[in-house]
Amino acid sequence: MMNKKKIFVAVDTNKVSLAKKIIKDTQTNKIKVGYKFGLEFMNSKNGRRFISTLRNKIIFIDLKLKDTVNTMVSAVKALKDLKIDYLTVHISSGLAALKAVKKVSGRTKIIGVTTLTSLNDNDLKLIGYNKTVKSLVIHQAKLAKKASLDALVCSPYEVGSLRKIFKKEIITPGVQLGKKNYDQKRSMEAKKVQSDWIVIGRAITRGNVKKNIQNLAKELR
């Protein structure tokens, strides 16, 4: 069972009207709720403008930045007007980039992305890594700690190992409500996850959103 009962609802859409509905229908006092917006929403016609209007919400922008140091720093600075709470960067961007981004991040917490939950050991081999997922994620967590990042993203299966290395917030996607795991290869039922925050999208936002958030709250008790 998750100790603090905190979730980020993944608002995976390019439609502002649907985003508004998701936010409205997930209001609850049973669990702490924040909202994750990714590339699809941020690259939509009115997505950025909508985020700039949000008040009294915990906002997580999931851009997974990975580029040269100067480009990443410029990107973070360009987001400052949104006053977001969390922003993702790939740890594989390198130590210099991570430190530089952290230095200019201001109030925004920088989240280091380890290895995507859609990848397994075989996938890593195909893209040229000689490490297992677990060993690579541990290596990445050590780099995030060295860069003084504020949080980590990892799969539910790596949380236990990373707690020994990284003492700040751990956020886990690859979380399912019930048995369905969509396109995740390292997923786990929400009630079994031990991270500080879980990220859950389609299991909440498809179908009856109000009922789904109520079911999640019950599962996390």
pTM for this structure? 0.91
Q: Give the active site residues.
A: 64
* Residue 157 confidence (pLDDT): 87
Angle at 37 between CA 56 and CA 209, to 5 degrees: 80
Structure tokens at 15: 């439609």
Q: Which CATH superfamily is domain 6-219 in?
A: Aldolase class I (3.20.20.70)
Predicted pLDDT at 1: 39
Assess whether pLDDT exceeds 70 at residue 2: no
Domain ranges of the chain: 6-219
Taking the C-alpha atoms of residue 68 and residue 87, their distance in angstroms, rounded to an integer, is 17
| Average pLDDT estimate for 193-214 | 92
E strand segments, 26-136: 32-38, 58-65, 86-90, 109-113
What pLDDT digit, counting tens, does each position of 22-49 carry?
999 999 998 999 999 999 999 999 999 9
Q: How far is CA 190 from the centre of its chain?
A: 15
Average pLDDT, the chain: 91
If one counts every other C-beta atom within 10 angstroms of the C-beta of residue 44, the result is 17
Q: Return the higher-pLDDT residue of 162 and 5.
A: 162
